[in-house]
Structure 1
Amino acid sequence: MQEVTRQFNDEKVVENLYSFMGESRKEYLPHGVTENEFLKRLDPLELEKIQKDIAYSMIRRKTFNDARVLKKWQVIIDVTELDEGYQKKNDYYLSRCYNRGKADEFIKYHRSVLEAKLYFGNNLVCSIASEPIENTEYIDQSEKK
Protein backbone atom coordinates (compact mmCIF):
# COMPACT_ATOMS: atom_id res chain seq x y z
CA MET A 1 0.00 0.00 0.00
CA GLN A 2 2.91 2.36 0.69
CA GLU A 3 4.15 1.90 -2.88
CA VAL A 4 0.73 2.95 -4.18
CA THR A 5 0.87 6.05 -1.96
CA ARG A 6 4.30 6.97 -3.39
CA GLN A 7 3.19 6.44 -6.99
CA PHE A 8 0.02 8.45 -6.55
CA ASN A 9 1.71 11.46 -4.92
CA ASP A 10 1.84 13.08 -8.35
CA GLU A 11 0.50 16.64 -8.59
CA LYS A 12 -2.20 15.83 -11.17
CA VAL A 13 -3.32 12.65 -9.38
CA VAL A 14 -3.61 14.53 -6.07
CA GLU A 15 -5.66 17.25 -7.75
CA ASN A 16 -8.02 14.73 -9.40
CA LEU A 17 -8.55 12.67 -6.25
CA TYR A 18 -9.33 15.69 -4.09
CA SER A 19 -11.72 16.90 -6.77
CA PHE A 20 -13.42 13.48 -6.74
CA MET A 21 -13.63 13.51 -2.92
CA GLY A 22 -15.13 17.00 -2.99
CA GLU A 23 -12.45 18.50 -0.76
CA SER A 24 -10.06 21.39 -1.21
CA ARG A 25 -6.73 20.46 -2.72
CA LYS A 26 -3.80 19.78 -0.41
CA GLU A 27 -0.12 19.37 -1.22
CA TYR A 28 -0.09 15.67 -0.41
CA LEU A 29 -2.21 12.58 -0.90
CA PRO A 30 -3.59 10.65 2.08
CA HIS A 31 -2.01 7.31 2.89
CA GLY A 32 -3.52 4.32 1.06
CA VAL A 33 -5.20 3.10 4.26
CA THR A 34 -7.03 6.44 4.51
CA GLU A 35 -8.16 6.09 0.90
CA ASN A 36 -9.47 2.58 1.58
CA GLU A 37 -11.40 3.85 4.61
CA PHE A 38 -12.96 6.52 2.37
CA LEU A 39 -13.91 3.96 -0.28
CA LYS A 40 -15.52 1.70 2.35
CA ARG A 41 -17.96 4.51 3.19
CA LEU A 42 -19.12 4.88 -0.40
CA ASP A 43 -22.28 3.16 -1.55
CA PRO A 44 -21.35 0.35 -3.99
CA LEU A 45 -24.24 1.37 -6.26
CA GLU A 46 -22.80 4.88 -6.49
CA LEU A 47 -19.41 3.45 -7.46
CA GLU A 48 -21.06 1.31 -10.15
CA LYS A 49 -22.83 4.40 -11.51
CA ILE A 50 -19.53 6.31 -11.67
CA GLN A 51 -17.91 3.32 -13.40
CA LYS A 52 -20.65 3.19 -16.03
CA ASP A 53 -20.61 6.98 -16.53
CA ILE A 54 -16.86 6.88 -17.22
CA ALA A 55 -17.25 4.02 -19.73
CA TYR A 56 -20.16 5.80 -21.44
CA SER A 57 -18.24 9.07 -21.78
CA MET A 58 -15.24 7.24 -23.24
CA ILE A 59 -17.44 5.43 -25.79
CA ARG A 60 -19.03 8.70 -26.89
CA ARG A 61 -15.62 10.20 -27.68
CA LYS A 62 -14.47 9.66 -31.22
CA THR A 63 -10.89 9.29 -29.94
CA PHE A 64 -11.23 5.56 -29.34
CA ASN A 65 -13.18 4.57 -32.49
CA ASP A 66 -10.07 2.92 -33.99
CA ALA A 67 -10.17 0.34 -31.19
CA ARG A 68 -13.49 -1.05 -32.42
CA VAL A 69 -13.59 -4.29 -34.41
CA LEU A 70 -16.12 -4.27 -37.26
CA LYS A 71 -17.61 -1.15 -35.63
CA LYS A 72 -18.22 -3.06 -32.38
CA TRP A 73 -16.62 -2.50 -29.00
CA GLN A 74 -14.65 -5.40 -27.56
CA VAL A 75 -15.64 -6.56 -24.09
CA ILE A 76 -13.04 -8.51 -22.15
CA ILE A 77 -14.08 -10.88 -19.38
CA ASP A 78 -11.38 -11.31 -16.76
CA VAL A 79 -11.01 -12.93 -13.34
CA THR A 80 -8.75 -11.02 -10.98
CA GLU A 81 -7.42 -12.39 -7.72
CA LEU A 82 -7.54 -9.65 -5.09
CA ASP A 83 -6.17 -11.35 -2.01
CA GLU A 84 -4.34 -14.57 -1.24
CA GLY A 85 -3.03 -16.03 1.97
CA TYR A 86 -2.83 -18.96 4.34
CA GLN A 87 -5.72 -17.78 6.55
CA LYS A 88 -9.40 -17.94 5.66
CA LYS A 89 -10.72 -14.45 6.45
CA ASN A 90 -14.40 -15.26 5.85
CA ASP A 91 -16.64 -18.03 4.51
CA TYR A 92 -16.68 -16.59 0.99
CA TYR A 93 -12.98 -17.17 0.34
CA LEU A 94 -12.14 -19.84 -2.20
CA SER A 95 -9.41 -22.37 -1.45
CA ARG A 96 -6.68 -24.23 -3.34
CA CYS A 97 -4.98 -27.34 -2.04
CA TYR A 98 -1.33 -27.81 -3.03
CA ASN A 99 0.53 -31.15 -2.92
CA ARG A 100 -2.69 -33.01 -2.08
CA GLY A 101 -2.08 -36.30 -0.29
CA LYS A 102 1.60 -35.59 0.34
CA ALA A 103 3.41 -34.74 3.56
CA ASP A 104 3.88 -31.10 2.54
CA GLU A 105 0.18 -30.52 1.65
CA PHE A 106 -1.06 -26.99 2.33
CA ILE A 107 -4.08 -24.83 1.54
CA LYS A 108 -4.12 -21.25 0.28
CA TYR A 109 -7.24 -19.10 0.39
CA HIS A 110 -8.06 -16.40 -2.13
CA ARG A 111 -10.72 -13.88 -3.07
CA SER A 112 -11.49 -13.31 -6.74
CA VAL A 113 -13.56 -10.89 -8.79
CA LEU A 114 -15.10 -11.40 -12.23
CA GLU A 115 -14.63 -8.25 -14.32
CA ALA A 116 -16.09 -7.04 -17.61
CA LYS A 117 -13.91 -4.45 -19.32
CA LEU A 118 -14.13 -2.38 -22.50
CA TYR A 119 -11.01 -2.36 -24.66
CA PHE A 120 -10.04 1.08 -25.99
CA GLY A 121 -6.79 0.10 -27.73
CA ASN A 122 -3.15 0.67 -26.80
CA ASN A 123 -3.52 -1.40 -23.61
CA LEU A 124 -6.26 0.88 -22.29
CA VAL A 125 -9.25 -0.83 -20.70
CA CYS A 126 -12.17 0.49 -18.68
CA SER A 127 -13.98 -1.68 -16.17
CA ILE A 128 -17.75 -1.71 -16.76
CA ALA A 129 -18.88 -4.31 -14.21
CA SER A 130 -17.49 -6.32 -11.30
CA GLU A 131 -18.90 -9.29 -9.44
CA PRO A 132 -17.23 -11.09 -6.53
CA ILE A 133 -16.78 -14.83 -6.93
CA GLU A 134 -17.99 -16.29 -3.66
CA ASN A 135 -17.98 -19.75 -2.22
CA THR A 136 -21.78 -19.80 -1.77
CA GLU A 137 -22.22 -23.42 -2.89
CA TYR A 138 -20.00 -24.61 -0.06
CA ILE A 139 -21.80 -22.39 2.44
CA ASP A 140 -25.21 -23.68 1.32
CA GLN A 141 -24.05 -27.31 1.62
CA SER A 142 -22.56 -26.81 5.07
CA GLU A 143 -25.74 -25.13 6.36
CA LYS A 144 -27.88 -28.13 5.29
CA LYS A 145 -25.90 -30.55 7.48
Structure 2
Amino acid sequence: MDPESDPNGPSLQPPVLNPVIQTIFKSYHFRYWHLSFEASGNRHCAYMIIEKRDVPDWEARAMTGQGRNISNMLLSQPPCVALEATIWDERDETKDYVGRTTDLRDPMIRNDRGLTIGMVHKRVAEMFAEHPDVSAIKLTTT
Protein backbone atom coordinates (compact mmCIF):
# COMPACT_ATOMS: atom_id res chain seq x y z
CA MET A 1 0.00 0.00 0.00
CA ASP A 2 1.17 3.51 -0.80
CA PRO A 3 2.36 5.19 2.45
CA GLU A 4 0.49 8.39 1.54
CA SER A 5 -2.87 6.57 1.35
CA ASP A 6 -2.20 4.24 4.30
CA PRO A 7 -4.13 5.43 7.41
CA ASN A 8 -1.08 4.37 9.45
CA GLY A 9 1.27 6.08 6.99
CA PRO A 10 2.89 9.48 7.35
CA SER A 11 0.59 12.38 8.08
CA LEU A 12 -0.17 14.50 5.05
CA GLN A 13 0.25 17.69 7.08
CA PRO A 14 3.72 17.99 8.60
CA PRO A 15 4.21 20.16 11.69
CA VAL A 16 4.84 23.81 10.90
CA LEU A 17 8.41 24.77 11.80
CA ASN A 18 8.55 28.22 13.40
CA PRO A 19 9.75 30.54 10.59
CA VAL A 20 10.97 33.12 13.12
CA ILE A 21 13.88 30.84 14.04
CA GLN A 22 15.39 30.88 10.56
CA THR A 23 14.52 34.57 10.07
CA ILE A 24 16.05 35.90 13.30
CA PHE A 25 18.85 33.34 13.67
CA LYS A 26 20.04 33.26 10.09
CA SER A 27 22.96 30.94 10.77
CA TYR A 28 20.70 28.18 12.10
CA HIS A 29 19.88 25.33 9.77
CA PHE A 30 16.32 24.41 10.80
CA ARG A 31 14.58 22.12 8.36
CA TYR A 32 13.00 18.76 7.71
CA TRP A 33 15.18 15.73 7.46
CA HIS A 34 14.06 13.70 4.48
CA LEU A 35 13.97 10.13 5.71
CA SER A 36 12.16 7.23 4.12
CA PHE A 37 8.80 6.15 5.53
CA GLU A 38 10.44 3.06 7.03
CA ALA A 39 13.43 4.90 8.54
CA SER A 40 11.35 7.71 10.06
CA GLY A 41 8.97 5.37 11.84
CA ASN A 42 5.96 7.14 10.32
CA ARG A 43 6.96 10.61 11.56
CA HIS A 44 8.12 13.87 10.12
CA CYS A 45 11.69 14.44 11.33
CA ALA A 46 13.41 17.82 11.66
CA TYR A 47 16.85 18.97 12.67
CA MET A 48 18.56 22.19 13.66
CA ILE A 49 22.28 22.98 13.81
CA ILE A 50 23.51 25.64 16.25
CA GLU A 51 27.10 26.84 16.33
CA LYS A 52 28.92 27.97 19.48
CA ARG A 53 29.68 31.34 17.89
CA ASP A 54 25.92 32.08 17.95
CA VAL A 55 25.75 32.03 21.78
CA PRO A 56 26.75 35.69 22.39
CA ASP A 57 24.14 36.87 19.87
CA TRP A 58 21.28 35.06 21.59
CA GLU A 59 22.44 36.07 25.03
CA ALA A 60 22.46 39.75 23.96
CA ARG A 61 19.06 39.39 22.27
CA ALA A 62 17.56 37.70 25.36
CA MET A 63 18.13 40.92 27.33
CA THR A 64 15.71 42.84 25.10
CA GLY A 65 11.89 42.75 25.22
CA GLN A 66 11.84 41.24 21.73
CA GLY A 67 14.28 38.55 22.85
CA ARG A 68 12.07 37.51 25.75
CA ASN A 69 9.08 37.19 23.41
CA ILE A 70 11.10 35.12 20.94
CA SER A 71 12.39 32.90 23.76
CA ASN A 72 8.81 31.93 24.62
CA MET A 73 7.95 30.84 21.07
CA LEU A 74 7.48 27.15 20.35
CA LEU A 75 9.77 25.46 17.84
CA SER A 76 6.82 24.08 15.89
CA GLN A 77 3.06 23.58 15.76
CA PRO A 78 2.02 21.08 16.95
CA PRO A 79 4.70 21.43 19.61
CA CYS A 80 7.94 19.45 19.42
CA VAL A 81 8.45 17.86 22.86
CA ALA A 82 11.91 16.28 22.57
CA LEU A 83 15.20 16.81 20.79
CA GLU A 84 18.39 14.78 20.90
CA ALA A 85 21.69 16.64 20.70
CA THR A 86 24.79 15.32 18.97
CA ILE A 87 28.11 16.90 18.09
CA TRP A 88 28.08 18.37 14.60
CA ASP A 89 31.62 18.39 13.33
CA GLU A 90 33.17 18.17 9.94
CA ARG A 91 35.82 15.61 10.84
CA ASP A 92 39.24 16.15 9.37
CA GLU A 93 41.12 12.87 9.40
CA THR A 94 44.45 14.71 9.40
CA LYS A 95 43.73 16.18 12.88
CA ASP A 96 44.37 14.47 16.19
CA TYR A 97 41.07 13.84 18.00
CA VAL A 98 42.56 12.18 21.07
CA GLY A 99 41.04 13.71 24.18
CA ARG A 100 38.26 15.50 22.31
CA THR A 101 34.62 15.17 23.25
CA THR A 102 32.92 12.46 21.21
CA ASP A 103 29.55 12.32 23.01
CA LEU A 104 27.53 14.94 24.87
CA ARG A 105 26.53 14.25 28.47
CA ASP A 106 22.74 14.25 28.87
CA PRO A 107 21.95 14.88 25.19
CA MET A 108 18.14 15.03 25.53
CA ILE A 109 16.12 18.24 25.69
CA ARG A 110 12.52 17.55 26.69
CA ASN A 111 9.37 19.38 27.75
CA ASP A 112 6.03 17.61 27.49
CA ARG A 113 4.19 20.90 26.82
CA GLY A 114 6.48 21.75 23.94
CA LEU A 115 9.98 23.08 23.54
CA THR A 116 10.49 26.81 23.19
CA ILE A 117 13.36 28.62 21.54
CA GLY A 118 14.50 29.82 24.98
CA MET A 119 14.53 26.31 26.44
CA VAL A 120 16.65 25.08 23.56
CA HIS A 121 19.05 28.04 23.77
CA LYS A 122 19.52 27.61 27.51
CA ARG A 123 20.26 23.88 27.26
CA VAL A 124 22.53 24.22 24.22
CA ALA A 125 24.50 26.97 26.00
CA GLU A 126 24.93 24.58 28.95
CA MET A 127 26.18 21.86 26.58
CA PHE A 128 28.73 24.23 25.02
CA ALA A 129 29.90 25.23 28.53
CA GLU A 130 30.25 21.55 29.55
CA HIS A 131 32.16 20.69 26.37
CA PRO A 132 34.46 23.62 25.43
CA ASP A 133 35.90 21.79 22.41
CA VAL A 134 32.49 21.36 20.73
CA SER A 135 31.87 24.01 18.07
CA ALA A 136 28.44 22.99 16.78
CA ILE A 137 25.49 20.90 17.97
CA LYS A 138 22.89 19.18 15.83
CA LEU A 139 19.45 18.75 17.41
CA THR A 140 17.09 16.18 15.91
CA THR A 141 13.49 15.36 16.72
CA THR A 142 12.96 12.04 18.46
TM class, shorter-length: under 0.3
Which of structures 1 and 2 has the bigger CA Rg? 1
Larger relative contact order, structure 1 or 2 (CA cutoff 8 Å, min sep 6): 2
More helix by share: 1
